[in-house]
Amino acid sequence: MRTRFRDRRHSLLSLLRTRLLTDAYWLMAFRMFLSVPSFPGARYTARRLANLYLGRLEVWRGRTRLRSRPIKLNVEATNICNLECPACFTGVGENGRARSHMSLELYRKLLDELGPYLFQVELHNWGEPLLARHLVPMIEEAHRAGIQTTLSTNFSFPFTAERAEAIVRAGLDVFGVSIDGARQETYEQYRRGGKLDTVLANCRLMRDAKRRLGSATPLLIWEFHVFSHNTDDIERARALAADLEMGIAVVKGWVAGPEWDVERRFGYFADSSPFPCSYLWHHAIVNNDGGVAPCCGTFYREDDMGRVATATGEEGNPTFREVWNSDRFQTARRFFNERSGSAADHEHICFECPTTKLWERYRAHVAAGGTFHTFSGAHSANDTFNYFWNRRPTGSEARRRRV
Ligand SMILES: C[S@@+](CC[C@H](N)C(=O)[O-])C[C@H]1O[C@@H](n2cnc3c(N)ncnc32)[C@H](O)[C@@H]1O
Ligand code: SF4
């Protein structure tokens, strides 16, 4: 088994080396290798930087068993939500796993083990973080450990000046607010059940709390997801955001089914380029129940790579590291060396993932003499979303309450 992995790794290495000086891709890859990512608010310790480069080296070498730890962590502070957004697993009432709040015990365990390596903790995955029971101490503890903290909220629920101050005081760095429209009738088409007036009033509370406490953080960002029904609201949203002292990010929203903006007038947050999946080497996702997902696209418990247990005798592993190097994670990383395997491997969520397949096509292209610049075939964020949206793990009894 080990020899097979080594052979595959060597074939990837030789492929990389043959292109090294002849392909502009490698100059770009080298620059990317050395670049230091920007996480305002994080402490750039020697340990974090050493781990960052070790992780990149391990990607480069096609390693499946890692000595590096993730540099980013998403925790699902809670998977409960108050809205019914139609292209969100939570919004359509999917029963991928039981609804709960992440315990502080689990969170602290993760911070103890991974905190020295992390640049960023994001406090949501598929739920509404501001409904989480332990949100404020979670922010405080990560902030104290010198980790950048961020979250995204729908902000459409009762909120108070005191809570706003508590979040500012806790040291949150980035506070994203999902507001997909500048008028109630457009906003509520995607944010079903949401009240725009409430959201804007809450944003004012955050702005005012920052002013009162003389704090430059958190950075307030209006996240405007563009759909066919709200394109006329963009300019009005920009003006409102400026008034609320918020930055604004206008990015295309994904939809179930084909791309809605065929002329590509709007851009997604990121479309795919051929690279090994960053989630598998650098970016971990831990759900409210301790389940470790391969990436943020997955939703079902059955697709977890393992589980971090907090008590003896509980299902799962006592450390995150054991899950990070579990058979399922190693199999997923191996697909980036060679996309093959047993029938069970073919059921693995990463096997048919657009990112895995793109990398396989890219390698074949380079092996046939092509270059990064002559390669075409990247997929859009909408394709990736639909892969996850339409997929059900074998044996899952998943069903949606709303469609
Ligand atoms: C599942 S949400 C959870 C956080 C929070 N409940 C919220 O909505 O901001 C995670 C992120 O996905 C974004 N999101 C939800 N539906 C989307 C869509 N159709 N296209 C792009 N982003 C979307 C949200 O705006 C948020 O930034
Ligand atoms: S507010 Fe966020 S978590 Fe809730 S349904 Fe909408 S996208 Fe999903």
pLDDT band of residue 32 (cuts 50, 70, 90) is confident
pTM of the model: 0.92
Maximum distance among all alpha carbons in the chain?
62
Res 14: pLDDT: 54
Give the pocket of ligand 2 (CB within 6 Å). 81, 83, 85, 88, 90-91, 126-128, 154
* Neighbouring residues of 390: CB distance < 8 A, sequence distance ≥ 6: none
Res 388: pLDDT: 95
Looking at ligand 1, which atom is closest to the CA of residue 255? 19
Pairwise CA distance, residues 19 & 162, whole Å? 58
In three-state secondary structure terms, 156 is: coil
Q: Which ligand gives the minimal distance to the CA of 269?
A: 1
Amino acid at 356: T
Pairwise CA distance, residues 317 & 308, whole Å? 5
Phi then psi for residue 152, to 5 deg, are -130, 135
Res 23: pLDDT: 59
Res 98: pLDDT: 92
pLDDT 10s digits, 82-98: 999 999 999 999 878 89
Strand partners, 122: 74, 150
Q: By the 8 A CB rule, do 189 and 181 touch?
A: yes
Looking at ligand 1, which atom is closest to the CA of residue 180? 25
Share of the chain above pLDDT 90, in %: 79
Mean pLDDT score across all residues of the chain = 92
Looking at ligand 2, which atom is closest to the CA of residue 91? 5
Average pLDDT over residues 335-352: 95
The answer on pLDDT for 121 being more than 50 is yes
Query: Do β-strands 120-122 and 148-153 pair in parallel, antiparallel, or remain unpaired?
Result: parallel
Res 13: pLDDT: 54
Q: Report CA(178)–ligand 1 centroid distance (Å).
A: 7
> Which span out of 236-240, 339-343, 358-362 was modeled with the highest average pLDDT?
236-240
The response to whether residue 221 sits with its C-beta less than 6 Å from ligand 1 reads: no
Strand partners, 252: 226
pLDDT band of residue 273 (cuts 50, 70, 90) is confident
Range from 259-268, 328-337, 369-378 carrying the lowest mean pLDDT = 369-378
Q: By the 8 A CB rule, do 177 and 153 touch?
A: yes
Pairwise CA distance, residues 274 & 267, whole Å? 18
